[in-house]
Amino acid sequence: MTPLADIMALCGGGVISIVGGGGKTTLMERLAREILVRGETVLVTTTTRIMMPKGERPELVLISGQTREVLRLAEALLSVSGRLTAASAYLPAEDKLIGFRATQIGELEQGNLFNWILVEADGARHLPLKAPALHEPVVPPSSRWVVAVVGLDAIGRPLTDEWVFRSRLFAEITGLTPGAPITEESVATALIHEKGILKDCPADALKYVFLNKAETEDRRMRGRLIAHILQEKGLMRPERVIIGALERETEPLECYVL
State the pLDDT at residue 213.
97
pLDDT tens across 148-200, in order?
A: 999 999 999 999 999 999 999 999 999 999 999 999 999 999 999 999 999 99
| Distance, C-alpha 150 to centroid of its chain | 10
**DSSP annotation string for the chain:** ---HHHHTT--S-EEEEEEESTTHHHHHHHHHHHHHHTT--EEEEESSEEEPPTT--GGGEEE-S-HHHHHHHHHHHTTT-SEEEEESEEETTTTEEE---HHHHHHHHHTT--SEEEEE----TT-SEE---TT-----TTEEEEEEEEEGGGTTSBSSTTTEETHHHHHHHH-PPTTSBP-HHHHHHHHHSTTSTTTT--TTSEEEEEEE---SHHHHHHHHHHHHHHHTTGGGS-SEEEE--TT-TTS--EEEE-
pLDDT at residue number 22: 80
What pLDDT, on a 0 to 100 scale, did the predictor assign at position 251? 84
For 205-213, what is the mean pLDDT? 98
Supply the pTM of this predicted model.
0.96
**In order of start, what are the domains of the chain with their CATH numbers?**
4-47+115-257 (3.40.50)
User: Which amino acid appears at position 122 of this protein?
Assistant: D
- Mean pLDDT value of segment 73-90: 96
pLDDT, position 1 = 77
**pLDDT at res. 130:** 97
For residues 205 and 16, what is the distance between their CA atoms, to the nearest angstrom?
9
Does 250 have pLDDT greater than 90? no
- Summarised one tens digit per residue, pLDDT across range 40-80 is 999 999 999 999 988 778 889 999 999 999 999 999 999 99
pLDDT in tens, 90-143: 999 999 999 999 999 999 999 999 999 999 999 999 999 999 999 999 999 999
Average model confidence (pLDDT) across the chain: 95
